[in-house]
Structure 1
Amino acid sequence: MKKFIKRLFLKEDPNVYQDKDSHLKRVLTVKDFLALGVGTIVSTAIFTLPGVVAASHAGPAVALSFLAAAIVAGLVAFAYAEMSSAMPFAGSAYSWINVVFGEFFGWIAGWALLAEYFIAVAFVASGLSANFRGLVEPLGFKLPNYLANAFGTDGGFIDIIAVIVVILVALLLSQGVSDAARVENVLVVLKVLAILVFIFVGVTALHKANYTPFIPEYHKNPDGTAFGGWQGIYAGVSSIFLSYIGFDSIAANSAEAKNPQKTMPRGILGSLLIAVVLFVAVSLVLVGMFHYSSYANNAEPVGWALRQSGHPIVASVVQAVAVIGMFTALIGMMLAGSRLLYSFGRDGMLPKWLGVLNSKKLPNRSLLVLGIIGVVLGALFPFAFLAQLISAGTLIAFMFVSLGIYALRSREGKDIPEPAFKMPLYPVLPAVAFLFTLIVFWGLDYDAKVYSLGWFALGLVIYFVYGIHHSYLSKRAGDSEDEH
């Protein structure tokens, strides 16, 4: 029994990851990571969640929900910046926790992130499909229900648009990260311009009365959730947090960063700062244009608000760019998810063929698997169902990374290089980041917690049935014991 428990706490040598990931090409710059981060964070959510959360939880104070969620995400981003600067390995939290806490905990953190990437690929593809169909239907192009909706939803069999976009992005990424980064950079600029156009046009249609009261009086919604008061703002934070989780996709690609000591912190913190400003600005403009109750059950509040205020052409342009811009989030999530699957294969935690690079030094086998699972989830499960599941796994990984700073500090300058960036206000801030992340997790709805529990149960079965017996770390430890 003692030997078994010792196996769970086996830590990976950081030099092993350094050597394994040395085959990946270091081609990504700060500009690429800023585009990747902004493209992934500022995605479907910015065009939908400000209106939805204002109507269902926070009223005009939805901007405070975005701000509070950003503070929690920012605290975790500090931890991510230090970790990725000290250990620029593929797989982000999975690889880091493997080094500082041990293989079992690394698997739990990685399995949590894998849920995020699988579901996020499907979520963004599903959202892109819905927005694209909303854009082209007025032009007379309408897909039959069985090709437009997820299986069992409104007569749907398969969401064919979601399938096509996942395949297109997979084909782009299979050509290499340099090509993907160039496409990402252009699309992100277009998307940010579209958001700025909405803000500047929307400011001309603000009504002061729509901001009063800024924090509505607290009461319970018919479904039992909170509306108004600080309770409503808190409920909004848990709903909104999925908007910010994209910055971890930057860290997953740190093995392909030029000068990661400086590139990673700038990319992670810079992209999050840009995203916060855009989210808060869109929220304030949206609730100022129309009373927050107008956005109830509105799947496209930004386009609707522009049309209702007399700007139909601007609405069409913004929505068209928004649809194109959603490709940026898909690129970011598929890039990060494929690198995480590669890391599992690299370490023998999942079949080792996932960790094989092709002749161009790209993990295209793991990309293929991620694409297939993304296609199945995005085509068969409805948008609302997927939205519930994204945050839970990521928040658990964030808790591990926040606490991991304590284990990392004692090793910096020894077997782990001294990083160029360190989390400020140590040892207080890592604990605060962990606590705030736990509070946000506690605010998730019941279904999200139950489904995440099921996902972790599956992860434990895979680890104890397959991973622990095939892990290269366990095999090396066993060989070492045999020699002695």
Structure 2
Amino acid sequence: MNIWKKFNRKEDPRIYENKDGHLVRSLKVKDILALGVGTIVSASIFTLPGEVAAMHTGPSVAISFILAAIAAGLVAFAYAEMAAAMPFAGSAYSWINVVFGEFWGWVAGWALLAEYFIALAFVGSGLSANFRALIAPLGWKLPASLSNAFGTNGGIVDIISVISIALVAILVLNGVSRVARIENLLVILKVIAIVLFVVVGATAIKHANYVPFIPKYRETSNGAFGGWQGIYAGVSMIFLSYIGFDSVAANSAEAIEPQKTMPRGIIGSLIIAVVLFVSVSLVLVGVMPYSDYANNAEPVGLALRAAGHPIVAVVVQTIAVFGMFTALIGMTMAGSRLIYSFGRDGMLPKTLGKLDNKRRPNNAVLAITFIAILIGAIFPFAALSQLISAGTLIAFMFVSLGIYPLRRREGRDIDDPSFKMPLYPIMPFLAFLASFIVFLGLDQQAKLYAGIWFVLGVIIYLVYGIRHSSLNKKK
């Protein structure tokens, strides 16, 4: 078999059904919704709106969130159909492996792997920043060496980030059903904190802070600011806020009645997230001039203190810190299931695809935890956000186009799902186009790192994956 045929050899969906049948199906709609909301409404809602407003959009940051939500929403419909038709572990990796072929599945999965690694480090950094701001009024302050990433402002390791990621790993190692109960509780607390900020902050809004709502365009050291150019730059920067529905799909092999559970969980969590993001953004820029949020990783607390509500700031930030654990849980679960899928198929060492005696992919959990901690120790908070979006957008483009070959096989060798992407064949192309446009808006550093990650992935595939793939054993 020549190399091109190996690139395009497709996995039989029945094989994945058999392999993933060993995983325990215990997640209900409420659990999937909690995972989605908990992952989407993560550190980004407490950190990014202020930073994006200061760097690119001014008061119009809410428009960037809405446009990013439209782009993400188009892809979410594709994800919902894929997850209903093929409820396998590994989400986009497994789906693309079935509909396009092994190499393309590897590329999509490898791109998502970057998302999970970096997202864990990103959320850990955000949690650390909010926790340190929370304890500062008590006179407790960690030394710079234990507060920042290596080489950043005298930092050696962000110890709070490391501890939080490790604690979540211990929790996930103990099983999905127990994690789901904790996740549901934390998500409820986090939504209460967000609503509390919106209600209290709304009383301190100053109309002057909204004028002009879309500042005049100019170029800055951070790129475009103001005008539609700045809003577009904001869309690319905050797109990571909506990537959580991919982490939901990665757990579809552990969902009860995935044909109903997955579409409801994916689309429902995105709708809830849009409402919360837009509300926080509008209040945030209304309370304080947007420029005051520059280089600040805890703008929600800053805004409440400036509005004369320090006690509410403490309450909101306390809940926010605990709430950020929901995103860490969601990303750890999704990333470990992706790594498990790689090991299951021989694309990475098979030990990563093994289950323990309680049918849990704990080798994969340990792997993603170690690498996320390592990344968080090297890269500072501000350098991580767009790098997450780059990997995710590549996978989104694959999934959007994957609807076309999927439709031809539904009802044949793939189950005919009860949920299907509407306005076929137009909407899959629009989802691809929206993801591509957002990808073009990423900064050059993000594209460079995405290119380096892609090359590294191709090398690993050619050196290891193509030789150890489980498809080699089939005649």
Fold shared, TM-score > 0.5 on shorter chain: yes
Question: What displacement does 1:361 show?
Answer: 0.3
Question: SS where residue 220 of structure 1 aligns?
Answer: strand
Question: What displacement does 1:350 show?
Answer: 0.5
Distance 1:294 1:310 in 2: 16
Distance 1:324 1:96 in 2: 33
Q: Is the 8 A contact 1:153 1:382 kept in 2?
A: yes
Q: 1:273-422 to 2 correspondence within 5 Å?
A: 273-422=271-420
Question: What displacement does 1:431 show?
Answer: 0.4
Question: SS where residue 253 of structure 2 aligns?
Answer: helix
Q: Which position in structure 1 is the counterpart of 2:181?
A: 182
Question: SS where residue 354 of structure 1 aligns?
Answer: helix
Q: Is the 8 A contact 1:58 1:233 kept in 2?
A: yes
What is the one-letter code of the residue matched to 2:399? Answer: V
- Structure 1 unmatched ranges of 5 or more: none
Q: Give the alignment's TM-score, normalised by structure 1.
A: 0.97
Distance 2:299 2:151 in 1: 26
Distance 1:143 1:209 in 2: 37
Q: Which position in structure 2 is the counterpart of 1:438?
A: 436
Question: What displacement does 1:377 show?
Answer: 1.2
Question: What displacement does 1:289 show?
Answer: 1.5
Q: Which position in structure 2 is the counterpart of 1:95?
A: 94
Distance 1:222 1:15 in 2: 52
Q: Is the 8 A contact 1:58 1:236 kept in 2?
A: yes
Question: What displacement does 1:126 show?
Answer: 1.6
Q: Is the 8 A contact 2:129 2:298 kept in 1?
A: no
Distance 2:7 2:369 in 1: 31
Distance 1:403 1:103 in 2: 16
Question: SS where residue 226 of structure 1 aligns?
Answer: strand
RMSD: 1.0
Distance 2:139 2:360 in 1: 41
Q: Is the 8 A contact 1:353 1:365 kept in 2?
A: yes
Q: Is the 8 A contact 2:237 2:385 kept in 1?
A: no
Q: Which position in structure 2 is the counterpart of 1:60?
A: 59
Q: Which position in structure 2 is the counterpart of 1:426?
A: 424
Question: What displacement does 1:187 show?
Answer: 0.5
Q: How many residues align?
A: 475
Distance 1:299 1:113 in 2: 25
What is the one-letter code of the residue matched to 2:79? Answer: Y
Distance 1:320 1:59 in 2: 27
Question: What displacement does 1:293 show?
Answer: 2.1
Distance 1:185 1:84 in 2: 21
Q: 1:206-245 to 2 correspondence within 5 Å?
A: 206-223=205-222, 225-245=223-243
Distance 2:88 2:41 in 1: 25
Which range moves more in the overlay, 175-184 or 51-60?
51-60
Residue deviations 1:251-271, cap 9 Å, x none?
Answer: 000000000000000000000
Question: What displacement does 1:382 show?
Answer: 1.3
Q: 1:100-115 to 2 correspondence within 5 Å?
A: 100-115=99-114
Q: Which position in structure 1 is the counterpart of 2:119?
A: 120
Question: What displacement does 1:128 show?
Answer: 1.0
Residue deviations 1:53-94, cap 9 Å, x none?
Answer: 112111111111000000000000000000000000000000
Which range moves more in the overlay, 295-304 or 44-53?
295-304
Question: What displacement does 1:162 show?
Answer: 1.4
Distance 2:244 2:458 in 1: 25
- Kindly indicate whether residue 8 of structure 2 is the aligned counterpart of residue 6 of structure 1: no
Distance 1:128 1:306 in 2: 18
Q: Is the 8 A contact 1:262 1:420 kept in 2?
A: yes
Q: Which position in structure 1 is the counterpart of 2:193?
A: 194
Residue deviations 1:376-397, cap 9 Å, x none?
Answer: 1112321112223111011000
Distance 1:301 1:167 in 2: 26
Q: Which position in structure 2 is the counterpart of 1:459?
A: 457
Q: Is the 8 A contact 1:10 1:474 kept in 2?
A: no
Distance 1:163 1:297 in 2: 22
Question: SS where residue 374 of structure 2 aligns?
Answer: helix
Q: Which position in structure 1 is the counterpart of 2:143?
A: 144
What is the one-letter code of the residue matched to 1:189? Answer: I
Question: What displacement does 1:310 show?
Answer: 0.9
Q: Is the 8 A contact 2:173 2:365 kept in 1?
A: yes
Residue deviations 1:288-332, cap 9 Å, x none?
Answer: 112222222222211111111111100111011111111000000
Distance 1:452 1:184 in 2: 31
Question: SS where residue 21 of structure 2 aligns?
Answer: helix
Q: Is the 8 A contact 1:159 1:380 kept in 2?
A: no
Q: Is the 8 A contact 2:288 2:306 kept in 1?
A: no
Distance 2:104 2:42 in 1: 30
What is the one-letter code of the residue matched to 1:364? Answer: N
Q: Which position in structure 1 is the counterpart of 2:262?
A: 264
Question: What displacement does 1:131 show?
Answer: 1.3
Residue deviations 1:315-374, cap 9 Å, x none?
Answer: 111011111111000000000000000000000000011111001100000101111111
Question: What displacement does 1:202 show?
Answer: 1.1
What is the one-letter code of the residue matched to 2:29? Answer: V
What is the one-letter code of the residue matched to 1:388? Answer: Q
Distance 2:183 2:395 in 1: 26
Q: Is the 8 A contact 2:13 2:98 kept in 1?
A: yes
Question: What displacement does 1:98 show?
Answer: 0.2
Distance 2:163 2:53 in 1: 32
Question: What displacement does 1:122 show?
Answer: 1.1
What is the one-letter code of the residue matched to 1:471? Answer: S
Q: Which position in structure 2 is the counterpart of 1:473?
A: 471
Q: Which position in structure 2 is the counterpart of 1:27?
A: 26
Distance 2:292 2:41 in 1: 23
Q: Which position in structure 1 is the counterpart of 2:46?
A: 47
What is the one-letter code of the residue matched to 2:201? Answer: G
Q: Is the 8 A contact 1:126 1:379 kept in 2?
A: no
Distance 2:282 2:146 in 1: 37
Distance 1:247 1:372 in 2: 24
Distance 1:116 1:62 in 2: 23
Distance 1:239 1:155 in 2: 27
Question: What displacement does 1:422 show?
Answer: 0.5
Question: What displacement does 1:286 show?
Answer: 1.2
